[in-house]
Amino acid sequence: MKKSWVLSLIISQVLFVSCLPVVKQVFSYLHPIAIAVVWACLTILVILLVFLLRKDKIAVSCTFLKVLIFLYTVCLLILLFWRPGNQSYTSWNLVPFSTILMYLRGSGNLFVAFYNIAANIGLFIPFGVYALIKRGRERLLTLRLIIIPVLLISLIEVIQYITHRGSLDIDDLILNFLGVLIGYALYPLIKKVLLIAEF
């Protein structure tokens, strides 16, 4: 297991340092905490992948997971609502897939388009994984696991619009919820790596 930890940390940190020149243009219009979020997500992803490939296990307490998801949620809210330069947004879009299709057609900056799609999906994957860890796989198809994420993401979108800290875009809702669904799909793989005490 020690080799898996060392390998994970080396790979994740090399990847993080390698990606910094590419992603630094995004940080100019995001809160500086984005650097910490990218670092943490990349590090955790690499750790999980290395442990999965090496068939090692990580013992994790429920308390640790709760603290981790709480800190992640706080960081995500900072990213969503506190942006540098007093940026203000007033636009809204209620036509499904119009923004996504605009990005996919290559309208505007390709890097910004990729970032917006990837970030809107990727940032919500941990919530899908955590929801199933907390509730158990047997409840995967319950309405609660569909309705609650949709309502919470919709609330975030509306608050962003009201406070002018983000645009109201149904495509953000679609991409965010897709991230949650990917989290649900990744749950069986995560369970192969994490040994978690029952909630």
Return contacts of 19-27, CB within 8 angstroms, 24+ apart: 23/115, 25/111, 26/111, 26/112, 26/115
pLDDT tens-digit readout, 6-27 = 999 999 999 999 988 877 766 6
The range of the structural domain enclosing residue 23 comes to: 2-196
| Number of domain units in the chain | 1
pLDDT of residue 84 exceeding 70, the answer is: no
pLDDT of residue 179 exceeding 90, the answer is: yes
Spatial separation of the C-alpha atoms in residues 184 and 181, rounded to whole Å: 5
pLDDT tens-digit readout, 86-103 = 666 778 889 999 988 888
Do 157 and 166 meet the contact criterion of CB atoms below 8 Å apart? yes
Q: What are phi and psi of 101, to 5 degrees?
A: -65, -35
* Average pLDDT rounded to a whole number, residues 91-120: 84
pLDDT tens-digit readout, 120-169 = 999 999 999 999 887 765 455 577 888 999 999 999 999 988 988 888 89
